[in-house]
Amino acid sequence: MFEAPAEGKELASVTKHVFVTGGVVSSLGKGLTSASIGMLLESRGLRVKMQKLDPYINVDPGTMSPYQHGEVYVLDDGSETDLDLGHYERFTSTPLTRRSNYTTGQIYLSVINKERRGEFLGNTVQVIPHITNEIKEVVKQLADADTDIVITEIGGTVGDIESLPFLEAIRQIPLEVGRENCLFIHLTLVPYLKAAGELKTKPTQHSVGILRQIGIQPDVLVCRTERGLDVSDREKIALFCNVPLDCVIEERDKDFSIYEVPLSLQSNRIDEIVLRRFGLQAGAADLEEWHELLHRLRNPEHEISIALVGKYAGHRDAYKSIYEAIDHGGIAHKTQVRVQPIKSEDIEREGAERLLAGFDGLIVPGGFGERGVEGKVEAIRFARERGLPFLGICLGMQCAVIDFARNVAGLADAHSTEFNRDTPHPVICLMEEQQGVIHKGGTMRLGAQPCGLTGGSRSAAAYGTAAISERHRHRYEFNPRYRERLEEAGLVIAGTSPDGTLVEIVELVDHPWFVAVQFHPEFKSKPTAAHPLFAGLVAAAVERHAGSAWVAEA
């Protein structure tokens, strides 16, 4: 048995590596599990870095449809990454950079560029060793004197052709850094078969079998299951998979909240197992904040509903960070928030009145392409006219400007040149730096940009500061030529780039809460620290729900 940890901690003399793989099926929640383990280790004082390796060939997910791959998560440094990195940032304080997410495409691109430069002159360039060496390098580069543990999650499912080079590379890493400095965690599914009335361990055995054929003996199995595993199930898995019994860990589905995952993993002592394996000593976990947030989630004092009007209704992963950030706003105000996704095309067909009446708030998220844009503009018009608390994000902000220009400033047919090149009033236009850009990958205005807030604005009050930094991902912007006219008509410019040229936030004064931003606040919200704009929206929605009637000034 593992002994109780001593007070204080002993830092790792060599950086340790934890590898997380998954088998049986995809969507097991490897990202969430990896993030939770990272969070538990951090809570015990260890310095953790996190990384995801994705087997697809796109250089990054920036060119993929959110339908297929979920949202593109943007980091401060402008890299467009997998949405699991959002879990990493929400659960841990590990600094993420473009070195935190690699794809097969990126690895091959780098190797092929080296080949063209002549770095392998005289050699045949092959998957082993050239591709696998490149993969090992991207993992090992995160190991430095400031890092106790690097957690590397391998995307995809064991047994896929695409994952093989990654698995081969992590098989080799223990040979270089020492087996005692590496820990392999494998997630599997233990399904319940109704007809047999029992849990089935065979898929787990097969999945571990494939890993062992590759040469990886997992040290820990995290078994995802709908029902609890009993000791005999765990004994069977331990025996057949060659893993100690206490390293067969159950991770039950969470009906209530994903924020329960770290606590349930901790009750199964996963942090202890990692520390024991590496011979590390660490203080007790400080999970006070986490318990508090779950307490708040369980004991809401208010209940509200918010409409999310976008292109991909019903596809939660497409707006993953927005759903999360709304929850955070709810946690901050002890409010249970029901989010109803609504297809913007449905608004075009059925009208905003019919679909939005009864909601306490509206969010229009980012997006690309013309489909459904008029429905978004219509939804925002409804929110503006009826005093419905509103948060517009990126394309949502651009649509707010279009509505205001058309319906308040009297600029008939105002539009974004993304959707109508010949509009008489291009209130949203291509940014100057984007003129002439042809390549689609990684060429938008991306990543953290500074923004100055206008004193007295709602945003300045919400942030409680005059200078902020937020993450961007767009090609179009508020057309500065229309600034004066729209301001005269009552639009408040609440935030601009520090030189004042780019409009980043617009607001309305005569409205309970109407804030629209060119950036993506959802990427910087945490369960323990809600983003001020999401918290602000929820607060306004709670007030509206409580019945404070709002009447537009005549």
Residues engaged in binding ligand GLN (CB under 6 A)? 366-368, 394-395, 418, 473-476
Cβ distance to ligand GLN smaller for residue 56 or 368? 368
Minimal distance, residue 400 CB to ligand GLN, in Å: 12
| Catalytic positions, written as ranges | 394, 520, 522
Q: How far is CA 61 from CA 53, 54, 55, 440, 464, in A?
A: 12, 10, 11, 12, 34
Minimal distance, residue 429 CB to ligand GLN, in Å: 10
Q: What are phi and psi of 54, to 5 degrees?
A: -110, 130
Minimal distance, residue 427 CB to ligand GLN, in Å: 13
Cβ distance to ligand GLN smaller for residue 138 or 394? 394
Cβ distance to ligand GLN smaller for residue 60 or 148? 60
What is the amino acid identity at position 291? H
Q: Quick one: how far is CA 356 from the chain centroid?
A: 27
Burial 172-205 (b: 16+ CB within 10 A, else e): bbbeebeeebbbbbbbbbbbeeeeeeebebeebe
Q: Considering only CA atoms, which of 360, 519, 547, 526 is closest in space to residue 448?
A: 519
Q: Are 253 and 233 in contact (CB under 8 A)?
A: no
Q: How far is CA 79 from CA 34, 96, 107, in A?
A: 20, 10, 15
Beta-carbon contacts of 289 under 8 Å, excluding residues fewer than 6 positions away, are 528
Beta-carbon contacts of 3 under 8 Å, excluding residues fewer than 6 positions away, are none
* Sheet with strand 415-416: strands edge to edge: 415-416, 426-430, 476-478
Cβ distance to ligand GLN smaller for residue 17 or 311? 311
Minimal distance, residue 444 CB to ligand GLN, in Å: 6
Minimal distance, residue 396 CB to ligand GLN, in Å: 7
Q: Considering only CA atoms, which of 193, 199, 209 is closest in space to residue 23?
A: 209
Cβ distance to ligand GLN smaller for residue 31 or 367? 367
Minimal distance, residue 66 CB to ligand GLN, in Å: 10
- Residue recorded with tokens 């392998």: 120
Cβ distance to ligand GLN smaller for residue 155 or 366? 366
Q: Quick one: how far is CA 138 from the chain centroid?
A: 22
